[in-house]
A and B are shown apart, each in its own frame.
Chain A
Amino acid sequence: MMGKEVVIKVKDFSYYVGSSQILKNLNFEVFKNEILSIIGPAGSGKSSFLRCLNRMNEIRAETKIEGTIEINGQNIYFPEVNITELRRKVGMVFALPVPLPRSIFENVAFGLRMAGVKDKKLIESRVIDSLQKVALWNEVKDRLHSSALKLSGGQQQRLCIARVLAMRPEFILLDEPCSGLDPVSTMKIEESLMELKNNYTIILVTNNTKQAARVSDRTAFFLSGELIEIDRTDRLFTAPRDRRTNDYISGRFG
C-alpha cells in the first residue's frame, strides 16, 4: 500500500466562499488506484473539497482559493489549465442520482458527445463497456433507448457512475453517492467501487463511517474545514490518533 505513486498533492490549500473560510490549510496526498474516503460531520467542508478537485467550486460566484492542488504534477489552478479537460479527467458523481431527461444510452454518451466525439462505433462500445463496469448492462440492455428517468434510484446512481466512466477519467469523485439509496443498492455500488479501483483513483465523500470502513484503503477525517487525521482505514478506525476522530467514529457527534 505504501510507497505508491502520488497522483494528487494538496499543499497549503484554503478555500473561501465570500468572506467565510470553508477549507483551512489542507496538506495531504492521494495515491494512485486507491479508494480514499473523506468522512466528517455536515459542514466539515468535505463536499466543498471534492468540488475543488475538478474546479466545480467555480460555478458559484465569489469563491477564492489559496495554496495549490496538483494533479499528476500539474497545478490545476494555473490559468492555462483547460477546465473542461480537467473535468473529463476528474469525473464526479453527485449525492442524488441526476439522470438527464434523455435515454439511458444518451446519458452515458453525453460526455463523449460534448467532447466532440463523432465516431458512432466508439461511442457505442464505450457506452456498453461503461454499463458493464457498473453491472448495469444486463439490467438495461433491452431498453437502452428508453428514458433514464424510469430506472430505480440505485440503477440511476450506477448509470451516473457509468456516465463518468465513459469519459475514461483517471479519477472518480463521489459525493455521498449512496445517501438516497436502500441497503441493497448501496451494496451494489460499493461492489462496483471495489471493482473500479483497479483502474481508477477514487475519492469517496461519505456520511456513513461504516461505508468508509468497508470500501476504502485510506480515510481522511475533516472537521470544520480542517483535516484532522488521514491514515490507513483499518488504523484510523481502530486506533485514531486524535480524540476528535475517535469521538466522531464512535458516534459521539455528527
Chain B
Amino acid sequence: MGNRTTMKGTESKEKLIRLFLLATALSAISILALISVFIFTEGLPIMFRHGFKKFLFSLDWYPTEGHFGLLPMIIGSLMVTVGAMIIGVPLGLAGAIYLTQFSSKKVRMVVKPMIELLAGIPSVVYGFIGVVILVPFVRENFGGPGFSVLTASIILGIMILPTILSISIDSLMALPPAYREGSIALGATEWQTTRMVLLPAARSGIIASIILGMGRAVGETMAVIMIAGNATSLPRTILDPVRTLTSNIALEMGYASGEHRQALFATGVILFIIIMVLNTVANLTSRKMSR
C-alpha cells in the first residue's frame, strides 16, 4: 500500500501549504504590531522629551512654538463621544428591541439591513450633510457658530447607531427562545419580558455593541473635521466649537514637519491607546457573552 516517494512528495507539499497559510494567518497580528511600532516610535520620543504631563494636561496647543498641550483635544473627543452615545445608544437600542420583540420577522429582515446601510454611507457625506443642514439649523435655533459639540454629537450619534443596533439585535436573537416563551407563559407582557429577562440576559452583547460604537465615535475623523469647528480652546458649552484628537492629526498632517509632525504622532499614540483599551474591553465582554 505505499508508494513511498509520491507520499513523501504530497506530504511535503501539504506541509508547505500549511506553512504558507500560517504566514497569511499571521498577517493581521503582524500588521497590528507594525502599526503600533511605527506610531509609537514616531510619537513617543517627543512625549518623553517634553514630559507626558505637558501633553496630557496642558491647554496650550501652539505646535510651531513648542507647546503641545493635548488636553483640549482629549476633552473634545470625550465630549463628542459622550454626546454621540446620548444620541446613538437610545436610537440603536430602541431599534434593536423593536425589531426583535415587536415586529414581524419580515419587517426585521428588511429594516435591519436598511439601518445597517447607514454604516456604509461615507463619513465625508455625513460631514457634508452636517455642514449644509445641521450647522445652520443649530446656529439659527440655539445660537453659537453652529460648528459645535452639539452638531458633531448628533452626526456621530447617527453614525454609530447601526453598530449598536446590529450587534444588539444579534445578541438578542442569540438568546434561547425558551427565555421569552417561559416569561410570556407566566403572564408577563412582551415589554416586561424584554426589560426583566431578555435585556439582562443579552447584557454583555449590548455593552460590547455600545463600546464598539464608542470606538467608532472616538476614531471618526472626516465628519468631525467638517462640523465640529476645530477650535483648540476648551469649549464652555455644547454650542462652542471643539477639536478632537482625530481632527487634530488630520488638519495639520498636511503641512507639519519636525517636532510638529512628531506631536501629531503623539496625538496618534493617545488615540491608539484609547482605541486599544476600548477594543480589549469590547472583546472581553463579548467573549464573556459567548461563554
Contacts and interface: CB of A to CB of B under 8 A. Distances in A.
- The answer to whether any beta carbons of A and B sit under 8 Å apart in the complex is yes
Interface of A: 71-72, 74, 76, 80-82, 84-86, 89
Given A82-B6, A82-B7, 6 more contacts: A71-B1, A74-B2, A80-B7, A81-B1, A84-B7, A85-B1
9 contacts: A72-B1, A74-B1, A74-B2, A76-B1, A80-B7, A81-B1, A82-B3, A82-B6, A85-B1
A85 B3 CA distance: 9
Do most interface residues of chain B lie in helix, strand or loop, or is the interface mixed?
helix
Contacts of B6: 82
Interface of B: 1-4, 6-7, 10
Do most interface residues of chain A lie in helix, strand or loop, or is the interface mixed?
mixed
B14 to A, nearest CB: 10
Contact of A89 (B1, B3, B4): B1
A103 B2 CA distance: 32
A196 B167 CA distance: 55
A89 B1 CA distance: 9
Contacts of A86: 1
Q: Which 7 A-B pairs have the closest CB atoms?
A: A82-B7, A82-B2, A74-B1, A80-B2, A81-B2, A81-B1, A86-B1
Contacts of A72: 1
A86 B10 CA distance: 14
Nearest to B10: A84
Contacts of A84: 7, 10
B15 to A, nearest CB: 14
Nearest to A86: B1
Contacts of A85: 1-3, 7
A80 B1 CA distance: 9
Contacts of B2: 74, 80-82, 85
Nearest to A82: B7
Nearest to A116: B6
Contacts of B4: 80, 82
A85 B4 CA distance: 11
A53 to B, nearest CB: 13
A150 to B, nearest CB: 28
Contacts of B1: 71-72, 74, 76, 81-82, 85-86, 89
Contacts of A71: 1
A85 B8 CA distance: 13
Contacts of B7: 80, 82, 84-85
Contacts of A74: 1-2
A33 to B, nearest CB: 19
Nearest to B7: A82
A82 B2 CA distance: 5
A74 B1 CA distance: 7
A65 B6 CA distance: 26
A76 B6 CA distance: 17
Nearest to A90: B1
Residue among B1, B4, B7 having the largest count of chain A Cβ atoms under 10 Å:
B1
A72 B4 CA distance: 18
A71 B1 CA distance: 9
A81 B3 CA distance: 8
Nearest to B4: A80
A84 B14 CA distance: 13
Contacts of A82: 1-4, 6-7
Nearest to A88: B1
A132 B221 CA distance: 67
